[in-house]
Structure 1
Amino acid sequence: MLAILLKTLPFFAVIGLGWLAGRTRFMAPESAAVLTKFVFYFALSAMLFRFAATLSLPEIFDLRFAGAYLLASLAVYALAMAVAFLRRRGLGEAAVEAQCAVIGNTGFLGVPMLVMLLGPQAAGPVLLVLSIDLVVFSSLLTVLVVSHRSGRLSLTDAGSMLKGLLKNPMIVSMGLGLIWGATGTPLPKPLDEFLVLLGAAATPGALFAIGASLVGRRAERVAVAAWLSFAKLVLHPAAVAFAALVLFKVDPAKAGVMIAAAALPVAGNVFILAQHFGIAPQRVSTSILISTICSVVTVSAVIAWIAPLL
């Protein structure tokens, strides 16, 4: 456990450095926003494109893997919604809280950290987890909130949802990478070196941006946020482990990567969606803060646990 903690500590140290830079105003909020945009649209997109372009579809898509992750995530999603309903929250709030319970920071934290820690063979499983989170669960939240507010999901709403997915640079870069890979054409050396160079900025840039984004997040509704953080950091990886290893008999190495990805803290895009819909953004913000701090220990513990599977 200590050895794994020492390996993960540098990643969280960069997050801490980003927080310190923002907290001391060395980096203004506007600068942090520019850094986030650079990572989101350029560095991380280059990394994802290269991963997808150099992997075959079978290396990324595994039906048994996808089934295990979906079933486990939906189970935790349903549990989080049930707890929200017991507290007499509406469907919109319940859906946002459920999103906190299952959507981890796979893009900014999971892809760079897990591939570096677990090896290049982790890229395919991590990309599949990221794709399911972006396509299935972001769409599910939109469907639930819009249907609750208007009583139905119109073609206009469905079109807007599809347009939003197609404009997401992570989805676009992975899709284009898969198309390139399907041709069987190796990446030209200058292009490959360009992608390696630009993608190398994704890891430190994303971690620094995560830290900077934590500045200004004040802990409110701590009890609820603590429950959602527990669901994300403990219940989600536990459910994924049971589904992958017991129910679906996923390849242990791939299952280990899936479990590690499920153990990541609440993603920042959940806050963006909550803010967009005007539903419990402060609750989500607190969940991100608590889960990110606690993940220093919990992610290390999960990686130490799955290490024999890899």
Structure 2
Amino acid sequence: MSGVISGFTVIFIVVGVGYLLGRTHVIGDHAHEVLSRLVFFVFTPALLFHSLVTTDLSVVFSSTLVIAGGSAMLMGVIYLVIAKLWLRRPVPELVIGALSSSYVNSVNLGLPIAIFVLDDASFIAPLLLFQIVIYSPMALLALDLTALERDTGRSLVRDSLIAPITNPIVVGGIAGLVVSVLGLMPPAAVMSPLKMLGDASVPAALLAFGLSLTGVQVFKKGESPRRDIALATVLKMVVMPLTVYAIARWGFGQTGEELFAMVVIAALPTAQNVLVYATRYRRGQILARDTALITTLASIPAIAVIALLLA
């Protein structure tokens, strides 16, 4: 339990610093957008490349990858179907909502909890790889094709082929995976600056999240898409952990520490990266912001209950 408290304390302190910076306007009125763009175009691609190059892929490709990745994808699909039929949202908002309901905070909260609570950081690696190599590219491709203006006369097929190779996060993740599979190790002169830039991704994303909370009221009537947020939150914090428990327990026969770890990971909140994506494409920002905040607060008692029942 002390690991849970420690992980969330780190989160709240850095987010609080971002909020104070926003309230005092120390770094300007457009700091949130500038910082989000830095995270999207520089810090996160560097983090993904460095992480994948230095990760043992034999640990990643396991049943954990199937359970964690499959459940995340399932939550996203459920959100898409319900939000399309019930709320009738356009595609970009559907994509941001699907990510909000399933994209796990696997780095800045997942890693501390994996280390302090589960005593093994490798539990989070499969989900991290799935989100980097499969989930993010799919979502970003959909956003590239539907949220950005397209030149008249350009075909959808051409844009579909070009979009992945022009998205820095997708390029960073795929390049890191290729280098890792080939067994190559870039020289220290290359890896060291990438690590420095990558290390800035988590705190910068948290600071940007804190900045986004300045002068806003979460779940505000008439401004916040309450039904979308409620749907994403319920899927993320209730349905996803229960689904993972059922799949891991009865589908793969997991018990004890493995089962506990899988359910704890599923109960992690929505990643702040979703807000970074929403800010980049200027769609669904309030949905991403409010869902991230609410699920972060809700995950504290959720993980505590899981620990009491399964630890």
Offset, 1:14 = 0.7
Is residue 260 from structure 1 mapped to residue 271 from structure 2 by the alignment? no
* Residues 162, 120 of structure 1: alpha-carbon distance in 2 compared, 3 angstrom cutoff: farther
Gaps of 5+ in 1: 147-154
Match of 1:246 among 235, 245, 250: 250
Q: RMSD over aligned Cα, in angstroms? A: 4.0
**Residue 26 of structure 1: SS of its match in structure 2?**
coil
Q: Name the CA distance, whole Å, in 2 between partners of 1:223 and 1:95.
A: 15
> Are the aligned partners of 1:11 and 1:207 in contact in 2 as well (CA < 8 Å)?
yes
Matches within 5 A, 1:60-209: 60-62=60-62, 64-81=63-80, 83-84=82-83, 87=86, 89=88, 92=91, 97-106=97-106, 109=108, 113=112, 120-122=121-123, 124-131=125-132, 132-138=134-140, 156-209=155-208
Structure with more helix by fraction:
1
| Greater mean deviation of Cα atoms: 208-217 or 251-260 | 251-260
**Residues paired across the two proteins, number:** 296
Normalized against structure 1, the TM-score is what?
Answer: 0.73
**Residue 155 of structure 2: SS of its match in structure 1?**
helix
* Residues 123, 2 of structure 1: alpha-carbon distance in 2 compared, 3 angstrom cutoff: closer
> Are the aligned partners of 2:206 and 2:272 in contact in 1 as well (CA < 8 Å)?
no
* Residues 303, 192 of structure 1: alpha-carbon distance in 2 compared, 3 angstrom cutoff: farther
Q: Name the CA distance, whole Å, in 1 between partners of 2:246 and 2:64.
A: 12
> Are the aligned partners of 1:47 and 1:198 in contact in 2 as well (CA < 8 Å)?
yes
Offset, 1:18 = 0.9
Offset, 1:222 = 3.1
Cα deviation 1:217-261 (Å, max 9, x = unaligned): 543243542342122122223322322343135796598268526
Cα deviation 1:9-54 (Å, max 9, x = unaligned): 1122211221221133233342233323333333333322222112
Match of 1:232 in 2: 236
**Residue 102 of structure 1: SS of its match in structure 2?**
coil
> Are the aligned partners of 1:100 and 1:228 in contact in 2 as well (CA < 8 Å)?
yes
> Are the aligned partners of 1:69 and 1:258 in contact in 2 as well (CA < 8 Å)?
no
What amino acid sits opposite 1:130 in the alignment?
Answer: Q
Q: Name the CA distance, whole Å, in 2 between partners of 1:128 and 1:49.
A: 11
**Residue 103 of structure 1: SS of its match in structure 2?**
coil
Match of 2:151 in 1: none
Normalized against structure 2, the TM-score is what?
Answer: 0.72
Q: Percent identity?
A: 23
Gaps of 5+ in 2: 148-153
